[in-house]
Amino acid sequence: MSGRFTDRRVLVTGGSGGIGGEICRRFATEGARVFVHYSSGRNRAEQCLAGLPGSGRHEAVQADLLDAQQVADMIDSVVDAAGGIDILVNNAGIYERHPPVEARYEEWQEIWRRTLGINLIGAANACHRAAHHMIRAGTGGRIVNISSRGAFRGEPDNPAYGASKAALNSLSQSLALALAPHRIFVYAVAPGFVETAMARPYLTPEKIDAIREQSPLHRVAKVQDVAYWVLAMADDEAEFATGAIVDVNGASYLRT
């Protein structure tokens, strides 16, 4: 297959989910060899693979992002299978409701451990290992981290999520500075509400109209809206935007 990402080797964490699956499909359509990460949902990863153009070129890879060794092994397995890695998309994340005044102390601690462990530390470990291979190969690369509008406006029902995404933004910008001399360019894409399974409990009939009206476009994002900007940031011509955090929230939250 041919396209602007022909023969690029791409790993998408959380690739079997809604946003991740669309990112995988877009990269595959543009000629990339795609590695679909999953934690426990092997069947969903296989379904994602079955729907990707270029059958037989793509693979599923498993890792618990809370386990640093499994993250390293996952990246190494991609490099072993494909001969390198060109693009890493840190898309995997969890969102668990825990308002400060309602959560039990033990529950609070556990949610913070899991949320930061997956959303931030797991992503940081993946960045480190992928960058290591990119630098050793001398070919440069791209890292795109999926952040959130909640990093800027706060998440009162899930402060760990908001904190993890704010830290992911900072990590992205720190790495953009540190890795640019190696021609590794780093970006973050920050959506608001997106029509996915993770958001479905919050997009209830009672709430959906109010949530849609947060945007002057009177809707929430589709997975295609997010995937478009991930591929735009991974494009060769986007290198001078390294360190950028791209808001994809339909002007529902404007920051200065």
pLDDT digits (tens, 9 = 90+) for 236-252: 999 999 999 999 999 99
Which residue of the set 38, 95, 161, 187 is catalytic? Answer: 161
Residue from 214, 126, 200, 121 nearest 168 by CA: 121
Q: Rounded CA gap, 210 and 148, in Å?
A: 19
Contact 161, 115 (CB under 8 A): yes
Distance in angstroms (rounded) separating the CA atoms of residues 226 and 220: 11
Rounded Cα distance, 66 and 162, in Å: 18
The mean pLDDT value for 193-222 works out to 84
The answer to whether the Cα torsion of 238, 232, 186, 247 is positive or negative is positive
List, in order, residues 6 or more apart from 174 with CB less than 8 Å away: none
Q: Is pLDDT of 203 > 90?
A: no
Active site residue 202: no
Report the C-alpha gap between 246 and 39 in whole angstroms: 27
CATH for 9-189+222-247, options being 1.10.3720.10, 3.40.50.720, 3.30.930.10, 3.40.1410.10: 3.40.50.720
4: three-class secondary structure by DSSP: coil
**Which pLDDT band holds residue 187 (cuts at 50, 70, 90)?**
very high
Tell me the CB-side half-sphere exposure of residue 180, using CA atoms within 13 A. Answer: 14
Q: Write down the pLDDT at residue 80.
A: 98
pLDDT given at position 1: 62
- Rounded Cα distance between 118 and 121, Å, is 6
> Please, are residues 14 and 20 in contact by the beta-carbon 8 Å criterion?
yes
Residue 186: is its pLDDT beyond 70? yes
Whether the pLDDT of residue 256 is over 70: the answer is: yes
Q: In which band, very low, low, confident or very high, does the pLDDT at 169 lie, cut at 50, 70 and 90?
A: very high
CA–CA separation, 68 and 120 (whole Å) = 12
The structure tokens 């899930």 sit at: 158
> What's the mean pLDDT when you consider all of the chain?
95
Residue 210 in tokens? 């109010």
The full set of domain ranges for the chain reads 9-189+222-247
What's the CA gap between 7 and 61, in Å, rounded?
18
| Residue 234: predicted pLDDT | 98
User: Per mean pLDDT, which range of 21-30, 85-94, 159-168, 200-209 is the poorest?
Assistant: 200-209
